[in-house]
Amino acid sequence: MGTKTWRRLTVWLHVVTSVGWMGQALALFTLLVISRTSEDGAIRVAATSMAHEIDTLLLAPLANASAFTGFMLAAGTAWGFTRHWWVLAKFAITLVQLYAGIFLLSGALRDSVGSEPPPVALVVGTALMASALAFQAWLSVAKPWGKVRSGVKLPTAPTWVFVAAVLAPLTDIAVGLLLGYPMPALSLVVLLGQLVRRRLGLVSGKDG
């Protein structure tokens, strides 16, 4: 398969994992609402515990894969990270979501297991996460606001970059499921490698 096919597979994986990420965020929101509103204490605890399991086993791996494939598409195509307002907006929102999800929401959700009810901020946070993902989907479709800056068109990465963009997150998801917690190590290595490769290529003036 050629570069075009693997690039399309990367886009497909990005769309699938992004939809999955939003779906799991909505599932967390639903479970946390149940945990706050149910009159049955056992249901409240069970709902929070299930939300924690979904966050660890499903949402986090999908979020990592979605962010990684999005970053790779920016780093491996002419879109770049800072050439178009809609891409820059998606990039900034994704960074905020990853920070909030990893360092704020996941920790708060873990601490809420076994207690009742979960804090309101946690419920609001999951709703905001799903809303932000829906807004990013609109950005991808509408591509509003034009260019941040013009310049030489960025080169498209070679085929192996997009092969790695597809295989790395799938490998990380499989490893994470075996370990019982998300481990996007290979994705980080691939992304850093592509960023360095593109930077060196731009400095040297070489294509692809």
Task: Specify the pLDDT at position 206.
Answer: 53
Q: Measuring CA to CA, which residue among 76, 73, 65, 122 is closest to residue 98?
A: 65
pLDDT in tens, 27-50: 999 999 999 999 888 899 999 999
Task: Specify the pLDDT at position 95.
Answer: 96
Q: How many residues does the chain have?
A: 208
Peptide bond connecting 117 to the previous residue in cis, omega within 30 degrees of 0: yes
The whole model's pTM is what? Answer: 0.92
Rounded Cα distance, 97 and 104, in Å: 10
Which residue blocks in the chain are alpha helix, DSSP H? 3-37, 41-54, 60-76, 85-99, 106-112, 120-142, 159-179, 185-204
Rounded Cα distance, 190 and 168, in Å: 7
Q: Measuring CA to CA, which residue among 99, 169, 173 is closest to residue 132?
A: 99
The CA dihedral of 207, 88, 173, 167, to the nearest 10 degrees, is -20
| Residue 113 · residue 156 · CB < 8 Å | no
Structure tokens at 172: 């990380």
| Residue 19 · residue 69 · CB < 8 Å | no
In DSSP terms, which residues pair with 84 in a beta bridge? 147
Task: Specify the pLDDT at position 205.
Answer: 56
Which region, left, alpha or beta, applies to residue 155 given φ > 0 means left and ψ of -120 to 50 means alpha?
Answer: beta
| Residue 28 · residue 55 · CB < 8 Å | yes
The tally of domains found in the chain comes to 1
Task: Specify the pLDDT at position 204.
Answer: 59
Residue 164 is part of which domain span? 3-204
| Residue 34 · residue 47 · CB < 8 Å | yes
Spell out, as residue ranges, where the chain has pLDDT lower than 70.
151, 202-208
66: Cα separation from own chain's centroid: 4
Q: Identify the burial level of 179 via C-beta atoms within 10 angstroms of its C-beta, where 0-12 means exposed, 13-18 middle and 19 or more buried.
A: exposed
